[in-house]
Amino acid sequence: MSSLEHRKVQSRLQLLHADGTPVANAEVQVDQKSHDFLFGCGAFDAVALMTRAKEENRAFLQERMERWLKLFNYGTLPFYWGRYEPREG
């Protein structure tokens, strides 16, 4: 098994016209637009970039965030509830 076998599946599609008859000899392109799998890690640099980045660090953090966004579709931010609501209510 290749290292990507767990990410692949074979499927069979039947394309139909509006009247229910099969589409024959049509060229079809299928593009995956999204998926339910979240792939990410800590996104703490996003907060630093948006709130307190010094001018000399801003370019570095901006480039790092652009690379991060190309790789991940999910991030954990450092917002811990206890800091915002020290007492319930």
Work out the number of other CB atoms within 10 angstroms of the CB of residue 54: 8
pLDDT at 2 (0 to 100): 62
Over the stretch 64-84, which tens digit does the pLDDT of each residue have?
999 999 999 999 988 777 877
Residue in the block written with tokens 């652009």? 66
Is 14 contained in some domain? yes
Taking the model in full, what pTM does it have? 0.51
Is 58 contained in some domain? yes
Would you say 72 and 40 are in contact if contact means Cβ atoms under 8 Å apart? yes
Domains identified in the chain, total number: 1
Over the stretch 16-43, which tens digit does the pLDDT of each residue have?
999 999 999 999 888 887 778 889 999 9
Is 20 contained in some domain? yes
Residue in the block written with tokens 């991940």? 72
Distances (CA, A) of 27 to 5, 16, 24, 42: 27, 13, 9, 42
Is 89 contained in some domain? no
Q: Which domain holds residue 42?
A: 5-84
